[in-house]
């Protein structure tokens, strides 16, 4: 069993719980023990796309973690919370409410490479301990600023005219970007405070919600429903990079981890495949030298 289950994660379910649900339903469907991993944590208060890798696809989880992602999120103005979300304690308030024009005017400040301070309630490690564990223990957590990339930021929907209590935005961001911090800083920029009231991931790397299934559909699969559209092939996680067709001799060399030269191709990451079109390996070409990055053990 190798491939992907793209789950539309419901509110309240953690990423680890989602992985457990996949394992449970695979066992119930008769697939026995399957290696399972996810391609990017999604908080219980967030919904949306969670790529879950099966078997040899788990070798691509690191690449999925590094991929850019797209989120829809709603900023609720007037209150800032300790966790910068709807569950935290209120730590600041403001009577000021921005207009749509004021929000639009500051978005350019948050597009491109930006510095942001992650939330204290995050999984970042400080002296070997998770920041959220320290924060929950009542310790003052000093988070260091870090640079991230916001590829695109736009207004998704506005909630009326005049002064707004909330606004929904869409952000396409690099790995390591905290949407809660982005919402906080946008609120500051328009002269108020705010927190994330809704967060939904709509894309992760090559995957979109179009290929996602509900938890109900996953559970139905475990109860005997057809596998169709439940498990995507491993190459579904590779469609954003070029494929490289190899001869049988070249395929054997790549599977053995040998370096190849003399193949006319562009520099960069590719996925190599043999005559049966099965993925053999992730390969990197630099100046005509082709090296294996990660091999796949997929038997016919």
Selecting among 8, 43, 172, 185, the annotated active-site residue is: 43
Query: For the chain, what percentages of helix, strand and coil (3-state, to nearest 5) are there?
Result: 25, 35, 40
CA 262 to chain centre: 36
- Whole-model pTM: value is 0.89
What angle (nearest 5°) sits at the alpha carbon of residue 41, between those of residues 9 and 8?
A: 15
* Contact in structure between 112 and 149 (CB atoms under 8 Å): yes
Task: Reply yes or no on whether 43 is catalytic.
Answer: yes
* pLDDT tens-digit series, residues 70-85: 999 999 999 999 889 9
Beta strands at 289-295 and 260-261: parallel, antiparallel or unpaired: antiparallel
Q: How big is the chain by its Cα radius of gyration, in Å?
A: 22
Span 112-128, pLDDT tens digits = 999 998 877 666 676 67
Question: Is there a contact between 144 and 154 (Cβ–Cβ < 8 Å)?
Answer: no
12: Cβ contacts below 8 Å, ≥ 6 apart: 44, 45
Per-residue pLDDT of the chain (300 residues; tens, 9 = 90+): 899 999 999 999 998 999 999 999 999 988 888 899 998 888 889 999 999 999 999 999 888 888 999 999 999 999 999 889 998 889 999 999 999 999 999 999 999 999 998 877 666 676 677 766 666 766 666 778 889 999 999 999 766 678 999 999 999 999 989 999 999 999 999 999 999 999 999 999 999 999 999 999 999 998 888 877 799 999 999 988 899 898 888 888 888 888 888 787 888 899 988 888 889 999 998 888 889 888 898 876
């Amino acid at each position: 069993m190798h491939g992907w289950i793209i789950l539309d994660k419901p509110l309240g379910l953690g990423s680890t719980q989602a992985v457990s649900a996949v394992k449970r339903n695979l066992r119930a469907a008769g697939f026995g023990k399957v290696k399972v991993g996810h391609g990017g944590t999604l908080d219980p208060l967030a919904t949306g796309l969670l790529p879950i890798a099966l078997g040899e696809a788990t070798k691509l989880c690191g690449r999925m973690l590094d991929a850019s992602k797209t989120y829809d999120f709603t900023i609720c103005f007037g209150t800032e919370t300790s966790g910068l979300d709807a569950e935290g304690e209120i730590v600041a308030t403001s009577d000021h409410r921005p207009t749509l024009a004021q929000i639009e005017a500051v978005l350019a400040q948050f597009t491109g490479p930006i510095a942001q301070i992650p939330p204290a309630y995050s999984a970042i490690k400080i002296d070997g301990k998770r920041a959220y564990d320290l924060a929950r223990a009542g310790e003052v957590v000093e988070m260091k600023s870090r640079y991230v990339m916001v590829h695109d930021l736009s207004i998704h929907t506005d909630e009326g005219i005049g002064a707004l209590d909330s606004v929904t935005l869409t952000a396409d961001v690099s790995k390591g970007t905290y949407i809660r911090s982005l919402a906080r800083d946008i609120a500051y920029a328009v002269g108020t405070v705010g927190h994330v009231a809704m967060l939904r991931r709509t894309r992760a790397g090559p995957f979109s919600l179009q290929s996602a299934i509900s938890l109900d559909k996953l559970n139905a699969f475990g109860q005997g429903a057809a596998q169709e559209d439940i498990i995507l092939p491993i190459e579904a996680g590779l469609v954003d990079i070029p494929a490289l067709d190899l001869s049988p001799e070249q395929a054997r060399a790549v599977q053995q981890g040998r370096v190849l030269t003399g193949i006319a191709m562009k520099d960069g990451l590719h996925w190599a495949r043999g005559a049966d079109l099965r993925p053999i390996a992730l390969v990197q070409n630099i100046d005509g030298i082709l090296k294996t990055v990660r091999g796949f053990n997929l038997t016919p």
